[in-house]
Structure 1
């Protein structure tokens, strides 16, 4: 069936949305599906990976001298990942329906549900800015208003010179990341696929995480590892790891959510 002929009726909380319970070993299937979609998507998939990597390089180049700001922007940038991966979700959706992989239609995949996707994206941006501001405040507090160098931060991390700084910084980051993950892991694919409202999508995502707490926590951990690898390779690894995450996230949605017509 062509993707253009798929039902686009609006889904609300009044419709029956069934959330499946799955075992944690399904994560391997999600990762395998993500890798398979990269292979099938070819240049279209790698295009999005290059965008992620290039954005990371630009952020690093512009703010390299202000690591206290760079840390918040680099990690916070990936809070916007659910929106930036929209094209990857659409590419997986189209390939699943039997269409050949093509980059052009994925670039405007968000247009049919523009208002709700933009509302959700504004929320992501707000959280991104809040985290960037908090990150700078934490650095300023523990480094006494100075602008620490990269070496200063590395020494603090590996020598536990400032254990309170590490505890507060990473705990705060984890709270922001957990919030974004919980409301968006299902939300963006659902809004793309079924034209749902931002509210319905966010609530469904939260319910999905509550229904599968262990599996979704482990899946979040996989995302952290894949993104962390990309960052550790001077962003080059993101060319592959971000498409894996994006494509796999589509299959997470497809295997966890059933909507009765």
Structure 2
């Protein structure tokens, strides 16, 4: 038998982490789809906001290619926070409640200080990545035209700057992996309990170390499905993001006691 809580070095209780089978992320996707079917209008409303917001950002940044590439990669960093309303819908459904879209927004006022602090941390990481990318691209893209398509073709896809491209993708992947490890259950935990940011992020890190295989599969599914949504001019995100958001709530419920 496991104790209800583990005690970390600073003396505050941390929840017990469950071990899950490697195939469990597929179950989360199934449960996410069931939540979408149970709450179609508010769930798809969030998906539509993701898609339209993303399209507007892309249109605004077409003549600022490095910002466009940062915006796409930064999407993966901020998505756990943006999906908080979807977590609230899943949480309420588990309690036997059915919320409207406007009702689900109440989650941002519950433990809002911790959510805001987590958002600040993620924002600082996105800003750091933007500055690193700006400097890196400036070193190789001095004469590149302003259009994003030409920029991506000449810099990222031509093969002429293969070492730079691989280094940039590797750095971005490492940052995304770090944020994933910090946030995989952090926001759902903040919403579900009166939890401070440090406890939520430390719990996320422990979740990743206890379930490295299943969460590697979960990260792979998150990236691939989200990229598929981007490939459809973001309109695939209308359905994909609600499924992933709801599934992330079930991931938290399975992983944390």
TM-score calculated relative to the size of structure 1: 0.89
The DSSP-based 3-state class of the residue aligned with 1:45 is helix
The DSSP-based 3-state class of the residue aligned with 2:107 is coil
Q: Are 2:161 and 1:162 equivalent residues in the alignment?
A: yes
- Compute the displacement of 1:15 (Å): 3.0
Contact 1:67/1:148 (<8 A) preserved = yes
Name the CA shift for 1:63/1:200 in 2 (closer, same or farther; >3 Å): same
Aligned-pair RMSD on alpha carbons? 1.7
Contact 1:66/1:148 (<8 A) preserved = yes
Query: What count of residue pairs does the alignment treat as equivalent?
Result: 247
Q: Name the CA distance, whole Å, in 2 between partners of 1:147 and 1:213.
A: 42
List, as ranges, runs of 4+ consecutive aligned residues in structure 1 with deviation greater than 4 Å.
145-148
- Compute the displacement of 1:64 (Å): 0.8
Q: Name the CA distance, whole Å, in 2 between partners of 1:220 and 1:212.
A: 12
Q: Given the alignment, which residue of 60, 63, 66 partners 1:65?
A: 63
Q: Given the alignment, which residue of 116, 141, 144 partners 1:143?
A: 141
Q: Name the CA distance, whole Å, in 1 between partners of 2:184 and 2:18.
A: 15
Match of 1:50 in 2: 48
- Compute the displacement of 1:137 (Å): 1.9
Match of 1:8 in 2: none
1:1-261 residue pairs with structure 2 within 5 A? 14-15=12-13, 17-144=15-142, 146=144, 149=147, 150-258=149-257
Name the CA shift for 1:245/1:13 in 2 (closer, same or farther; >3 Å): farther
Q: Name the CA distance, whole Å, in 1 between partners of 2:81 and 2:11.
A: 22
Contact 1:140/1:146 (<8 A) preserved = no
Unmatched segments (≥5 aa) in structure 1: 1-11
Contact 2:89/2:98 (<8 A) preserved = no
